[in-house]
A and B are shown apart, each in its own frame.
Chain A
Amino acid sequence: MSEAVAHPAAEAPSGATYLPRDATYGSITRDIAAPVFAPAGWRWWTAFLVTLALTLVMIFAILWLFIEGVGIWGVNADVVWGFAITNYVWWIGIGNAGTLISSMLLLTRQRWRASINRFAEAMTLFAAAIAGLFPILHLGRPYLFYWLVPYPNVMTLWPQWRSPLVWDLFAIASYIIFSLLFWYTGLIPDLASLRDRARTRFGQLVFGAFALGWRGSARQWRRFDAFYWAMAAMAVPLVISLHSVVGLDFAAGLMPGWQETIFPPYFVVGAMFSGFAMVVTLAVPIRWGLRLETFITPAHFDAMAKILLMGSIIMGASYATEWFLAWYAGNVAERLVTQFELSGSYAPLYWLMLLFNVALPQLFWWRRTRRSLSAIFAIAILINVGMWLERLLIILNTLSHAYLPARWSDYAPTVWDWALLLGTLGFFTFLFVCFVRLVPAVSMHEVRQLAHAQAELEDDDAVLA
């Protein structure tokens, strides 16, 4: 192996390329920036209006919750967490994955990330912001959420530092600020490209202001690289810490089925798994809607499918470990919860979850599945559903079947639970629909870099100009 070995940067599995051979720097800028400047088509307007309507549903569901209280939900005195915390964990999982994917792929020099990192990070921001709502919404008195914040107050109280709920506040707040900085920094050079391409004064002013005067000088690039890589290196432990804290929300307690040492790492893997599935779910329509087939290629989907496969195996191994060790050295309640999982009130959902999260992704062992866009899209959506079910069932199984048999009760969601879930899905999509028209959905400067690396392989740098 000669050339490919010398340039791991552009090394692509199974000889695939992530860019067309005839791409030039100019065509990259033109194609990626096009959706920002072109007038919106019917597809975009349809998506905009539909998601706007769903956003209104979310706002209404939240307002009604504030007026009436958590009694409008299906939660009861035993199953106190229900949909709200399910949604929280699900959204924060998706919100973790974008940054994790983006930085891990950067650190491992998988340059193909250039095509997906921008919208993966946007996904992170939106999902994390939505996730942050739920812990507040699920409080009986949401207007007192600021009691988690340490500040000198007339009650002379401090937060309980040994509580994962306080860790949660710190983790989420740090994470949202961090992700915003990471995403925005990566965006600065592209905003400068937009500033220089804008034809209207308004566009020039807005993009110019957000580009902060970026000139692309070697000094700036050097600092950009130093900062961006350092952020990527910090992002990995940060994301892991954040989702571990989410896992600890469960594991630090004493409930049977939650007191598991594997919860922190397994929540992290679950986040990565569902997040990757969400990236795929978003990549397909973005690619189609923005005509980015050139930049998001079958090779990308192939690579992501392999990661989903790996994730599904780890998830499966984790489930099996839990079952086995509950039997092996669990107490009575833990054994009973495991039994309840597999054959109790929610067993059909549990088996459906196993089908979606563990069994179906095994189809990715076959190259044909990995190369079929519709198959990947379908499986990715089912994984999203499966991971949502997983979080729901972690909550329901334990709370419905905890230590006291007198407090065994089932949970059923109400229309307001569904409205809030649907509404947040709509709001998330709404933010995304706006995002793809406001900034380039793919990182232009990194795709240029990828093109450069690819051309180096063919020893033909000039074709790009």
Chain B
Amino acid sequence: MTAVLARRRAALLVAGTIATVALALGAIFDTAGAANGLLFAFLVWLAIPIGSAVLMEIHTLTGGAWGRALRPVLADCAATVPVFIVPFVFIILGARTVYPWAADASATKWRDVSAGYLNVQGFALRALVIWAVWCLIAAAPRPRRAERLWAGIGLALYGITISIAAVDWSMSLSPKWASTSYAAITAIGQITAALAFAALLQTLASRAETEDVAGLILACLLGYAYLSFMQYLVIWSGNLPDRANWYVARVHHGWALIEGLAILAGAAAFLILLRRKARQSGRATAAAAVLVLAALLLDRLWQTVPSLPEARPWAVILATVALGCLWIGLAGRVAWPPRQEALGRV
């Protein structure tokens, strides 16, 4: 898989550039639409690099065959975290067209929240901290001594920053809605995406390695489904207007169909991975990884776009293609085939 990507790098870069230019042209006519699309693409693709960094920290702490097998790809993905600052800058610039609270201070539930938290300055300031921490976790060189300690600190920092990032960057799209498990769902979604992506790219050497990786994908998938369902069940049971509205907006206009497809893809991956034979097979695991990524993409679409009234299909598609192609192409340039340094960190 890695080799295939390396060969297609030029094509990826060309496609990415064309999509970027098209998106930029579109932005001239419909800035809001382009910015909304870009936010979606950003949330989709960012999951993989930061999730990879977290997986590496986890592996440093716990060890295990899965991590040794995936480390080369994970290291390459994690190294590209800083790249995502570029689209993020555009999102901050277009914040007023994306986030309701940025344009209108009365969009939040409480006045003191607008004043003390949900405003563009605060948003930018917190983003600065988040990006500093993430660059530190993902891309900064580390002393080899006390590796586990650093990994532990890295994970704790990630836990704090993702709690802020999940609220700021996506939950606040519906400023009156809050769910206490939202950050946890976002975090496990990032980890799952990174894991599936790495499993897809890395050729796994042995059956034992494949089984380890596949088992972990299965666990992450179940964790994601579990958290998502519990959020739904609690809100369904309570049925309080401010909370249930979020779901109401997501069953109309065909959105239920999108989530239905996501559930189907996830269920198919689950059924594949349930069999031990399949978990030992590289091809079956790769197929499951594709399904998992598809499920996460559709679920992200379902979560985000209903809160982005300005988003236009062309912008969502162009931005996703642009960011994805450029990111994979550029990352491949730095990284694939695996660097020696990455292997050395095993």
In contact, A8 and B113 (Cβ under 8 angstroms): no
1/0 per position for B228-243, CB-CB distance to A under 8 A? 0011011101101011
Question: Chain A 243-259 against B: per-residue CB contact (8 Å), 1 yes, 0 no?
Answer: 01000100111100001
15 contacts between A and B (CB under 8 A): A236-B219, A237-B226, A252-B233, A253-B238, A261-B235, A263-B180, A264-B230, A309-B152, A322-B180, A325-B180, A328-B113, A328-B117, A329-B177, A329-B242, A330-B178
CA distance A296 to B181 in the complex (A): 37
Residue positions of B touching A, CB distance < 8 A? 61-65, 68, 108-110, 113, 117, 148-149, 152, 156, 159-160, 163, 167, 175-184, 215, 219, 222, 226-227, 230-231, 233-235, 237-238, 240, 242-243, 346
> Are A329 and B176 in contact (CB-based, < 8 A)?
yes
Instruction: Assess whether B234 is in contact with A264, with CB atoms less than 8 Å apart.
Output: yes
Q: Which 4 A-B pairs have CB atoms at the shortest separation, nearest pair first?
A: A262-B180, A329-B178, A252-B237, A262-B181
Residue-wise interface mask of A (149-191) relative to B, using a CB-CB cutoff of 8 A (1 in contact, 0 not): 0000000000000101000000000000000000000000000
User: Which residues of chain A from 81 to 119 have a CB within 8 Å of any chain B CB?
Assistant: 107-109
Min CB distance, B5 to chain A, in Å? 27
Q: Which stretch, A60-68, A313-321, A417-425, touches the partner chain B?
A: A313-321
In chain A, positions 218-276 with a C-beta closer than 8 Å to chain B are 236-237, 240, 244, 248, 251-254, 259-266
Give the chain A neighbours of B64 by CB distance below 8 A.
8, 108-109
Please measure, in the bound complex, the distance between the C-alpha atom of A327 and the C-alpha atom of B117, giving whole angstroms.
10
B63/A11 in contact, CB under 8 A:
yes
Q: How many chain A residues touch B (Cβ–Cβ < 8 Å)?
A: 45
C-alpha gap A254/B62 in the complex (Å): 40
B238 x A259 contact (CB < 8 A): yes
CB neighbours of B346 from chain A (8 A): 1, 5
A405-441 Cβ-contact flags toward B at 8 Å (1 or 0) = 0000000000000000000000000000000000000
The residue on A at minimum CB distance from B236 is A252
The distance in angstroms between the C-alpha atoms of A170 and B175, with both chains bound, is 38
Are the CB atoms of B178 and A325 closer together than 8 Å?
yes
Q: A365: CB under 8 A from chain B?
A: yes
A contact patch SS: helix
B62 contact set on A, CB distance < 8 A: 108
The CA of A166 and the CA of B182, in the complex, are separated in Å by: 27
Q: Cα distance A331–B64 when bound, in Å? A: 45
Q: Are B226 and A254 in contact (CB-based, < 8 A)?
A: no
Flag if A321 contacts B63 (CB, 8 Å): no
**Nearest Cβ distance between residue B114 and chain A, in whole angstroms?**
11
Are A107 and B178 touching (Cβ within 8 A)? no
Q: Which A residue sits closest to B109, measured CB to CB? A: A329
The distance from the CB of B59 to the nearest CB of chain A, in whole angstroms, is 12
Q: Roughly how many angstroms separate A8 CA and B226 CA in the complex, as a whole number?
A: 29
- Residues of A near B237 (CB, < 8 A) are 162, 164, 248, 251-253
CA distance A402 to B149 in the complex (A): 43
Report whether B181 and A8 are in contact in the complex, using a CB–CB cutoff of 8 Å.
no
Which residues in B have their C-beta under 8 angstroms from that of A237? 222, 226
Question: In whole Å, how far is B234's beta carbon from the nearest beta carbon of chain A?
Answer: 5
- CB-CB under 8 A from B179, the residues of chain A are 261-262, 325
Residues of B within 8 A of A1 (CB): 346
Which residues of A are found within 8 Å of B113, using beta-carbon distances? 327-329
The answer to whether A259 and B152 have CB atoms under 8 Å apart is no
Instruction: Check B177 against A259 for contact (C-beta < 8 Å).
Output: no
Query: Is B230's CB under 8 angstroms from A261's CB?
Result: yes
| B-side contacts of A236, CB under 8 Å | 219
